[in-house]
Amino acid sequence: MRIGELAALVGVSTRTVRHYHHEGLLPEPVRLPNGYREYRLRDAVVLARVRRLAELGLSLDEIRDVLADDKGRELREVLLELDVDLARQQEALAARRARLAALLTETDLHPDSTVSPEMAEVLRELPAGESRFAAFDRELLVMMDTGADPGDRAALTEMFQPLTDPETYARAQDLYVRMDTLADADPGDPRVAALAEDFAALLPHAMTAAAAEHLDEAAVDQWAASMEDELSPAQAEMFRLLIAALRRNAMEGEG
């Protein structure tokens, strides 16, 4: 058989056959004097087996392991692992569909609606108001929620939950307004350091501990630099001083 005949017999393309040759899943037959490959029935049997395993969802590396074990013991192990993986995918898909169904029941859909239900609850209690920086803060929360692992989202939203307390929220709004007034200020303005201390006093202990654990001076500088388009020099300096205050407060709390 020529490669086209082999491919037609098994129901794949000639490109697939060549790919399996390249991956070492299908040995290349000896070429005839005219340069053509001459495939035999056993080649079709192997190719058909590779196709069946691929249709089951096995990766090429897993197929290679199965083909190396003539007794099929490895195949059973791989198929069991595949079944567990498919079950996990089904569970994740069901959760996504449930979230989608909940979104479709909302009459006022907006970009914030697509966050996790836990973060959506926090955002409902943290309206942006008229503060530009408060609106930016909400965007950061949405970004953090989107990038967080599903298992970490509950802890993330729990960290921000204390900020939804009415009294705390009112204090935060005042700080946001003060932050907006720094848009044209000099980084050395005394209001910058004062605002950083007031923000540090407002934020929950869990947030303080997280900042101390995950952010060093280099990380803070890099993060602030990445937001230069969003923050003025004075506002960026406020963030640097805020993180320093949070780390200091956390270390004092440990002491």
Q: What is the pLDDT of residues 116-157, one digit of tens each?
A: 676 776 776 665 566 777 777 777 677 666 666 666 667 777
Instruction: Specify the fold of 3-84.
Output: Multidrug-efflux Transporter Regulator; Chain: A; Domain 2 (1.10.1660)
Domain ranges, ordered by start, for the chain: 3-84, 111-254
Look at residue 31 and give its three-state secondary structure: strand
**Tokens (6 digits) for 179:** 């932050």
**Cα–Cα nearest to 141, from 170, 166, 116:** 116
E strand spans, the chain: none
Running DSSP on this structure, what letter comes out for residue 28? P
Question: How much is the CA Rg of the chain, to the nearest whole Å?
Answer: 29
| Distance between CA atoms of residues 12 and 47, nearest Å | 9
Residue ranges of the chain whose pLDDT lies below 70? 69-75, 78-79, 82, 99, 102-104, 106-116, 118, 121, 124-130, 140, 143-153, 207-229, 250, 253-255
Burial class (CB in 10 A: 0-12, 13-18, 19+), 45: exposed
> Each residue of 153-185: b (16+ CB within 10 Å) or e?
beebbebbeebeeeeeeebbbebbebbeebeeb
